[in-house]
Amino acid sequence: MKRVVSIDLFRGITIALMIFVNDVASVPDAPKWLHHVRANTDGMTLPDLVFPAFLFIVGMVIPIALEKRLSRGILPSLKHIGERSLALIIMGVMMLNSGAYNPHIACLPKALWQLLMYASFFLIWNIWEDRSTLKRYMPKIGWILLIFLAVIYRRGDISDIQWLRTGWWGILGLIGWAYAAASLIYLFFKNREEIIILSMGFCILLFIGEVSGRLDALQPLVDFIHPGKFLGTHTLIVLAGLYAGLQLKKGRNVVLKRLPAEALVLWLAGWLLHNVYIVSKIQATPVWGLWSAALCVLIFLLIYFIADIKDLKTWGNPFQPSAQNPLTAYLLPAVFYILFDILAIPYFQWGQQGYILGLFRAFFFTGIILFVTHLFTKMKIRLKL
């Protein structure tokens, strides 16, 4: 299939927005539409749309990513899905626990442990393809380092020493689970769109089953993975992106007919369920998932019309770093925050001086991250799962 520029642009914009809204989260006086809606509030804002946008993009590229591997058989594809999912889950859980690391009951300072964790990610999952010696040794060194960091990890206090927790799995972990579920559906049913649609319905049933107590007999599983909220709603969004990705393989005319119809159906399904469930990202309700997916379809259509149909692409150049190297761009802000803390730079205090200064800070910081990502890409520092 011919490369679709709009997918890259959509990915780049989404990652840039993710960096921006995550930074704005520390600006208390910022406009409400730049903060997440509370768990029990019926509604969504721009930050509540960023995570589902990334899930949607993950779904869109599944047919493209697996197409070549499927020609080699099922086992290579299963291996790829398993390795990619596990990598995301590992990174998600480690990042989720990093904030609770207690240096008073562990053997390394907190900032050092965190920096070494991110260093291990780059050693393991950087692309070393054209550097055979580095490819041979760096991932092994990274795994040794990551396992060491996991073994010495401690949280809690001296009277209640705890180890790593899966918790809510972290953003990357949630993406890993949803990617695995949607990829397996595509792997075994390929281009059968009716199976994709039925699977989306099943995801909604999983959510209903969890919140209604129908899955109480499986409580250990519910506590571990939340099959309705995490596997259900998040996989639904990935599948919506997967359906859109299948239309891209059929050509421009099909895209312009099918995607508006998909957005309409997703919106109507959410409208029907809104009589029962609120719109909530934190609760991962199907209404939030369906309406987010509908908005993603429309946003992608707009980018597709501008970039692929009208061939207007230069406006997206600022987002190329996060489009080409998205995982690196996503991880870098956390590394910068750790360095700010080590160097005693009062970065977050600047957000307390009024929302205008805080928004400028977030905008400038996003630009810095995109520029550093660009430099990393030129230096062949590029994470890819």
329-338 residue pLDDT tens = 999 999 999 9
Whole-number Å distance between alpha carbons of 264 and 282: 24
Q: Which residue type does 103 have? A: P
What mean pLDDT comes out for the span 109-137?
Answer: 93
| pLDDT tier at 146, thresholds 50, 70, 90 | very high
What mean pLDDT comes out for the span 17-39?
Answer: 94
What mean pLDDT comes out for the span 41-58?
Answer: 97
Q: Is the confidence at residue 87, as pLDDT, over 90? A: yes
| pLDDT tier at 66, thresholds 50, 70, 90 | confident
Whole-number Å distance between alpha carbons of 320 and 367: 12
| pLDDT, position 351 | 78
| pLDDT, position 199 | 97
How many CB atoms sit inside 10 A of residue 159's CB? Answer: 6
Per-residue model confidence as pLDDT tens digits over 149-179 = 999 999 999 999 999 999 999 999 999 999 9
Return phi, psi of residue 157, to 5°. Answer: -140, -175
Q: Is the confidence at residue 129, as pLDDT, over 90? A: no
| pLDDT, position 354 | 83
Q: In the chain, which ranges are continuous DSSP H helix?
A: 5-24, 46-70, 74-98, 110-125, 132-152, 170-189, 193-211, 219-225, 234-248, 252-273, 286-304, 320-324, 326-342, 355-378
Nearest to 316 by CA among 329, 302, 327, 330: 302
Whole-number Å distance between alpha carbons of 172 and 99: 15
Q: Is the confidence at residue 1, as pLDDT, over 70? A: no
More confident residue, 305 or 4: 305
Q: What is the dihedral of CA 93, 94, 97, 101, to 10 degrees?
A: 160
Q: What percent of the chain has pLDDT over 70?
A: 99
| pLDDT, position 218 | 87
DSSP state of 383: B
